[in-house]
């Protein structure tokens, strides 16, 4: 098995294929070798506000839970602890797998989408939020939350906190609303640029859409690795979606095709206009 993974690594390196688990391993190596402190969302909010040379590492688990498990294992090899936000649905909410990730020291968070589920009804949405939060807390401690941003719905799930206060539920912070003045890099749209990002941005970063000029030129993970190695930024907030990071040629082709199809839909319906203005 070890030889098989090494062979795959060599093949992917020659092909320079992005968004694979081996490419993610390279990103982890870069974080560790260039002196960054890597922390969870909760750890940053509680302990590292003023610290430099730091990377907040977050993962939104929308589907393909097994990818998140493997990513968590890779991070564990490097002594990295990150935040994993899980949706409450049949394909992702698996207590055994979530516990497996928590046991490696990673933060477990709730990836809520309650305004979408409630069709914009705030009273129904907050009841769903409370019920689902309880389910996650039966598995692990949940200190922070993160909205799920479905580009095809008209609701913005984090708007729930315009009517309510997440701190009333014992929550320390929200992965979008609790951050400002930090370069934010996300793999949404299968690119590290701002293109194809409809709801995935820090509200505090508007109207400059991220605050860091390289946000529109980091097209691949190698570009992000080079940026981290250059020392041009002292802190960063990095988001990945584990289902995008594949481990095999067939899986990679399927993932790539799905992302391109979604990006096409965004373009056809003008859903990327905010990102394209940035």
pLDDT surpasses 80 at 214 = no
Q: How many CB atoms lie within 10 A of CB 70?
A: 16
Short-list 19, 12, 8, CA closest to 67 = 19
Does some domain include residue 271?
yes
Does some domain include residue 255?
yes
3-state DSSP assignment of residue 100: helix
| pLDDT of 12 | 44
Instruction: Please confirm whether the linkage preceding 207 is cis (ω < 30° from 0).
Output: yes
Could you give the number of structural domains in the chain? 1
Give the confidence band of 158 by pLDDT, cuts at 50, 70, 90. Answer: very high
Average pLDDT, integer, range 151-163: 95
Report the C-alpha gap between 142 and 135 in whole angstroms: 10
Average pLDDT, integer, range 105-132: 98
Report the C-alpha gap between 217 and 240 in whole angstroms: 18
Q: Which residues contact 210 (CB under 8 A, 6 or more apart)?
A: 183, 184, 194, 201, 202, 278
Full domain range(s) for residue 24: 17-277
Does some domain include residue 10?
no
Does some domain include residue 5?
no
Does some domain include residue 8?
no
Q: Could you tell me the CATH number of the domain that includes residue 190?
A: 3.20.20.370
Give the confidence band of 196 by pLDDT, cuts at 50, 70, 90. Answer: low
| pLDDT of 211 | 43
Scored b (16 or more CB within 10 A) or e, 112-137 reads bbbbbbbeeeeeebbebbeebbeebe
Does some domain include residue 48?
yes
pTM: 0.88
């Amino acid at each position: 098995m070890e030889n098989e993974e090494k062979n795959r690594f060599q093949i992917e390196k020659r092909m320079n294929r992005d968004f694979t688990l081996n490419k993610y391993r390279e990103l982890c190596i870069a974080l560790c070798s260039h002196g960054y402190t890597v922390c969870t969302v909760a750890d940053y909010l509680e302990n590292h506000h003023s610290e430099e040379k730091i990377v907040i590492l977050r993962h939104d688990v929308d589907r393909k839970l097994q990818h998140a498990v493997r990513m968590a294992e890779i991070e564990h090899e490097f002594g990295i602890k990150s935040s994993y936000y899980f949706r409450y649905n049949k394909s992702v909410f698996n207590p055994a797998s979530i516990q497996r990730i928590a046991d490696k020291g990673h933060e477990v968070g709730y990836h809520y989408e309650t305004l979408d589920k409630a069709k914009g009804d705030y009273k129904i949405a907050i009841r769903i939020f409370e019920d689902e939060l309880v389910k996650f807390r039966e598995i692990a401690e949940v200190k922070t939350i993160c909205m799920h941003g479905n580009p095809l719905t008209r609701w913005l799930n984090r708007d729930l906190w315009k009517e309510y206060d997440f701190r009333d539920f014992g929550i320390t912070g929200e992965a979008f609303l609790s951050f400002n003045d930090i370069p934010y890099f996300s793999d949404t749209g299968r690119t590290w640029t701002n293109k194809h990002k409809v709801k995935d941005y820090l509200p505090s970063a508007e109207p400059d859409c991220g605050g860091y000029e390289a946000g529109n030129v980091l097209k691949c993970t190698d570009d992000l690795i080079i940026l981290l190695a250059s020392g041009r930024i002292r802190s960063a907030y990095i988001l990945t979606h584990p289902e995008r990071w594949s481990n095999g040629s067939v899986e990679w082709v399927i993932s790539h095709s799905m992302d391109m199809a979604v990006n096409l839909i965004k373009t056809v319906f003008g859903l990327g206009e905010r990102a394209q203005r940035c």
